[in-house]
Amino acid sequence: MSAVGWSRFQFAFTIIYHYLFPQLSMGLALLIVIFKARYLKTRDAIYNESARFWTRIFGINFAVGVVTGIPMEFQFGTNWAAFSNFAGGVIGMSLAMEGMFAFFAESSFLGILLFGEKRFGQKVHMFSAVMLFLGSWLSGYFIIVTNAFMQHPVGYAPGQNGALHLVNPIVYLLNPWALWEYSHNMVATVATASFVVCSVAAYYILAGMHVEHAKAFMKVAVVTGCIATLLQIFPTGDGQGKMMSRYQKPALAAMEGKFTTSTNAALAIMGQPNLQTGKIENAIEVPGILSYLAYGDFGAKVQGLDSFPKNMQPDNVELLYYSYHIMVGLGTLFILLMLVSAWQLRAGRLFRNRALLWVLMLSFPFPYIATTAGWMVAEIGRQPWVVYGLERTLAGASPTVSGGDVAFTTLGFCGLYTVVALLFAYMVMREIGRGPESSQTDIEVGAGAPASTL
Ligand code: HEM
């Protein structure tokens, strides 16, 4: 494989691995605020212990997220030096701000949340939960805004040496692509956290352990899960699709498996794209729907891959197509599962419905798969550009790094990340084994405290 091929593989591997962690922390940060707020409202200690339990899981997850995030920024310098020279004057701003928020705001408030409840009291504890949520969501925004610039560059001007400069930070920060990308991505984090919390709750109920806490987990996570999975499809998923139909037409054609331009374009719900014949095999299609989803008109013309020269099309149409269909297919199943769980919860049957509890317990990997598939859609769809329309991926790689160099460091990452995965799994399982009740010992400040002490 070429040096660029290896660099792309290394970035894809390390970022997919890295993003397994922030996607849970960011969603969990919102759920921790909800648990804490419910405790302050109801004075039911179960909710406070739930907040503490999930903060400990957050802490482990956050630490691994930070550790695996650092190599990402180094790769800009080692493997993507030409891209860094070209776009560093623009994206450096948001990446630096992310570092500041991630390290200073998030870590400080996480410290208070983990260790400061007794010392600072409930008001500061609640405030820290809110700040942790805001800090993690803000740092997420700075990363998304950086990616959005690569998808749809705005707020820049080319300098004399050909490199880009930031000329309008407000336009850059309010990139319309970023607003849709961010909202879609953040509801995905809430979906992931909701599924993980439901899964642990289902495990506890099935095993007859920590049942009261598990019920509290489930009540919160089924509601957040319902809202997040519905928002995933509309308006956020729909908004993302509309951005692509306006600014990344070849990517839209590839992910939908649309080979030829037509009006009244059909949406392929299933089928396998065949690049040789330019057709979807075994297709199940609904006429007019793609035209409607892309342009709000059943008869609108949708450009197929035949409208674009080969060197303007994404280089892996099949992977793009399948990633997109996996994401949307899973998204539809998530809505069904969450709605059924909400209905059973309301009917008072969820905690006795063992079949549904088993499904919920085993469901937690799937939001991770959907999120990974979503990012593959975004990143493969952007090809052959590293900065859309401005710099090709081939031109962004480091000129002096060989394929062998990158293959070697990739192997290093594989080994290191296996160890990290084992450590992470051990620490999380240990916390789950200990359960939420293990935080009862430092509860003096919590249950039953008169409102005046808050
Ligand atoms: C249910 C219907 C869904 C639709 C219509 C939809 C639509 C889209 C589209 C069009 C993109 C590509 C945007 C681009 O190229 O930048 C995208 C990306 C993405 N999707 Fe989905 N999606 C759906 C479900 C989901 C689900 C269930 C998840 C995860 C739980 C998810 C997570 C993501 C992520 C993380 C990205 C990459 C970041 C971004 O561009 O927002 N999506 N989605």
Average pLDDT, whole number, for the chain? 94
**pLDDT reported for residue 74:** 92
Q: Which atom of ligand 1 is nearest to the CA of 182?
A: 41
Q: Domains in the chain: how many in total?
A: 1
Query: Which residues form the domain of 72?
Result: 3-161+169-246+315-453
Average pLDDT over residues 267-277: 96
pLDDT of residue 454: 33
- Pocket of ligand 1 contains residue 391 by CB under 6 Å: no
* Local confidence band at 249 (pLDDT 50, 70, 90 cut-offs): very high
C-alpha distances out from residue 257 to 234, 304, 329, Å: 22, 8, 15
In a domain, 389, yes or no: yes
Residue 421 has pLDDT above 70, yes or no: yes
101 or 253, which is more confident? Answer: 253
Ligand 1 atom closest to residue 184's alpha carbon, by position in its atom list: 41
Residue 440 pLDDT level (bands cut at 50, 70, 90): low
Examine residue 305 and state whether it is found in any structural domain, yes or no. Answer: no
Any domain includes 237:
yes
Q: Name the residue of 151, 240, 248, 369 to mutate for ligand 1: max ligand atoms within 8 A of Cβ.
A: 240
Of residues 268, 375, 283, the one with CA closest to residue 320: 375
Q: Residue 397 — φ and ψ, nearest 5°?
A: -75, 165
Between the CA of 283 and the centroid of ligand 1 the distance, in Å, is: 22
In a domain, residue 207? The reply is yes
- Is the residue at 273 inside a domain? no
Residue 251 lies in a domain: no
- 417 domain residue, yes or no: yes
- Whole-number pLDDT of residue 451: 33
Tens-digit pLDDT profile for residues 82-135: 999 999 999 999 999 998 777 788 889 999 999 999 999 999 999 999 999 999
Q: What is the pLDDT of residues 366-396, one digit of tens each?
A: 999 999 999 999 999 999 999 999 999 999 9
Q: What is the pLDDT of residues 63-73, one digit of tens each?
A: 999 999 989 98
Which pTM does this prediction carry? 0.95
- For ligand 1, atom 5, the nearest C-alpha belongs to 237
Q: What is the model's pLDDT at position 207?
A: 98
- Look at residue 443 and tell me if it is in a domain: yes
Ligand 1 proximity of 181 Cβ (cutoff 6 Å) = yes
91-105, 134-148, 256-270, 410-424: segment of lowest average pLDDT = 91-105
State the distance from the centre of ligand 1 to the C-alpha of 327, rounded, in angstroms. 7
Closest CA relative to residue 382, chosen from 305, 295, 315: 315
